[in-house]
Amino acid sequence: MRFDADWMSRADDRILEHLAEEGPDTPKEMADSDRVRFSRQHINARCKTLVTYGLLVHLGNGVYDITRKGKQYLAGELDARDLKGE
């Protein structure tokens, strides 16, 4: 069971799931996928927030990847309510 936090949005799980399955990707490519059905702008904003909380890492050139914490969250091993933003 996943424990999300008040700061999270519906898009966050889709973004994390996409990156866990597909590997590093850009907000544009995620927006074009069937899994993440949000605008590129919204995905980009959510990726920046997820980086702040340590669930994603920005690799440069607009490419994001999931972190170990992000994988732990997806597996239900991490309570996002306990994460502190940087």
pLDDT along the chain (86 residues), means of 10: 92 97 97 92 97 97 97 96 89
Task: Spell out the long-range contacts of 77-81 with Cβ–Cβ below 8 A and sequence spacing 24 or more.
Answer: 78/3, 79/3, 80/2, 80/3, 80/4, 80/5, 80/8, 80/53, 80/55, 81/3, 81/4, 81/5, 81/6
What pLDDT is recorded for position 86?
A: 80
What pLDDT is recorded for position 3?
A: 87
What pLDDT is recorded for position 14?
A: 96
What pLDDT is recorded for position 24?
A: 98
- Residue pointed to by tokens 């995620």: 30
**pTM for the full predicted model:** 0.94
What pLDDT is recorded for position 12?
A: 97
